[in-house]
Structure 1
């Protein structure tokens, strides 16, 4: 158990590095790594509090760059509804099925990013898709702890500059976490023990964020992104192997 917890803290450190570098992607690293040692509901529950705290902090830091608030409001409200629905699925689905879902989501995310690195979406169309995109992202986040195949891909396709991308996606993740925390308590997944572990996980996450910000300035966003893609590919294969 001690080894598993140390691995979980390392996962949060790596997730913090990624978040500090690109402003998102923490659950894509944390949830698959933790799911190898624990089940998906445990991993999702542990991630909920660090997700809320880190995204509130990062969103507040970049709040002055948040524009088109009507678009952001539709996105986050729909995501909150989706997170509640997803949490119900998390409590109902078998652990093995959830592990496979997490692995497939990670593989899809890697495959799409590699196949369509420059895929873009017209901003006018993107605004009209805000509510359904937010709803689907929330359902994925609630049910599997990973919304990146929808949330990150959708917002990245709009080609927002980094200073606008970060507060927008931070608001999205914070909205999902606000709903997710009480929902996890309501369905009986969140316990006091998990909550303490979740609180402890905030430490390596916040330690990793400034490291990521420094690394991306040194090695460049593209090289950093490719390293994360390789890591995710290995983790996804390991998860599929464990679930087989």
Structure 2
């Protein structure tokens, strides 16, 4: 792939991923990993999404005033995410890219199918002390192995009964910690290179442009309808990635 085509693909990917995040409040790393994973090893794709994911998630995290309370409530999950992600990142680096793609595709399908039907879940407050770190550890392992940090943290946070604005911030908090932990894991495994950091930083602008566009679209169409189309797209994309080792 020549440089012009590569940079065009990178820009288009992060515009689309940012647009999805602007409409739904999530999905930038999921879309970016899915699209980039079709043309490059998942470890390289994960390296490229570090900066745009971090910037957009920090923006989302500080969109309200509930940060301190959320950190106090969710810190066991966040700590477990760090350990799971750093430990699991070796899988993203060292296993065959085809099988890493299988893991990524499976994670996309599981997340999308859950979100399409979204059974109403509720987590009793008394179970959080033991359930929160367990969810964090599994999320971290999935993040480390696939570069996607939505399963099972997103369904879990949605089941805590948080007000809408606090839920958006909680997602931003979880995603920010996951992004930093993934970057640390890639650094420890000698995968996150300086030139990739530059490419990752260049991807911030198209990601922010996509977020701005997404917020404009959200004001004009039904977010629910857009979300359904997006999730169906993820199912198809995930199945394609998961099927690669068998063909």
- TM-score normalised by structure 2 residue count: 0.90
- Residue equivalent to 2:210: 208
What is the RMSD of the two structures over their aligned residues, measured on CA atoms?
1.9
Shift of 1:233: 2.1
Q: Aligned equivalents of 1:85 and 1:5: distance in 2?
A: 31
8-17 or 151-160: which moved more? Answer: 151-160
Correspondences of 1:122-161 after superposition (within 5 Å): 122-124=123-125, 127-128=128-129, 129-161=131-163
| Secondary structure of residue in 1 paired with 2:121 | coil
Distance 1:88 1:227, change over 3 A: same
Distance 1:200 1:161, change over 3 A: same
Distance 1:126 1:35, change over 3 A: farther
Q: Aligned equivalents of 1:139 and 1:161: distance in 2?
A: 28
Given that 1:50 and 1:205 are in contact with CA atoms closer than 8 Å, whether structure 2 keeps it comes out as yes
Q: Aligned equivalents of 1:34 and 1:216: distance in 2?
A: 25
Describe the superposition over 1:115-138 as per-residue Cα deviations: whole angstroms up to 9, x where unpaired. Answer: 3x2321224156231111111112
Describe the superposition over 1:141-199 as per-residue Cα deviations: whole angstroms up to 9, x where unpaired. Answer: 12101121212222223343331112111111111222222321221111122111111
Q: Aligned equivalents of 2:7 and 2:230: distance in 1?
A: 22
- Residue equivalent to 1:165: 167
Q: Aligned equivalents of 2:40 and 2:232: distance in 1?
A: 22
2:100 corresponds, among 84, 98, 101, to 98
| Secondary structure of residue in 2 paired with 1:218 | coil
Shift of 1:44: 0.8
Q: Aligned equivalents of 1:217 and 1:233: distance in 2?
A: 26
Q: Aligned equivalents of 1:37 and 1:5: distance in 2?
A: 13
| Secondary structure of residue in 2 paired with 1:37 | coil
Given that 1:86 and 1:140 are in contact with CA atoms closer than 8 Å, whether structure 2 keeps it comes out as yes
| Secondary structure of residue in 2 paired with 1:61 | coil
2:233 corresponds, among 228, 231, 234, to 231
Large movers: runs of 4+ above 4 Å: none
Q: Aligned equivalents of 2:161 and 2:237: distance in 1?
A: 28
- Residue equivalent to 1:35: 37
- Residue equivalent to 1:189: 191
- Residue equivalent to 1:120: 121
Distance 1:205 1:34, change over 3 A: same
Given that 1:24 and 1:152 are in contact with CA atoms closer than 8 Å, whether structure 2 keeps it comes out as no
Correspondences of 1:6-17 after superposition (within 5 Å): 6-17=8-19
Aligned residues: 242
Q: Aligned equivalents of 2:228 and 2:101: distance in 1?
A: 24
Q: Aligned equivalents of 1:152 and 1:93: distance in 2?
A: 26
Q: Aligned equivalents of 1:89 and 1:144: distance in 2?
A: 8
User: Does residue 198 of structure 1 match 2:211?
Assistant: no
Q: Aligned equivalents of 1:112 and 1:104: distance in 2?
A: 12
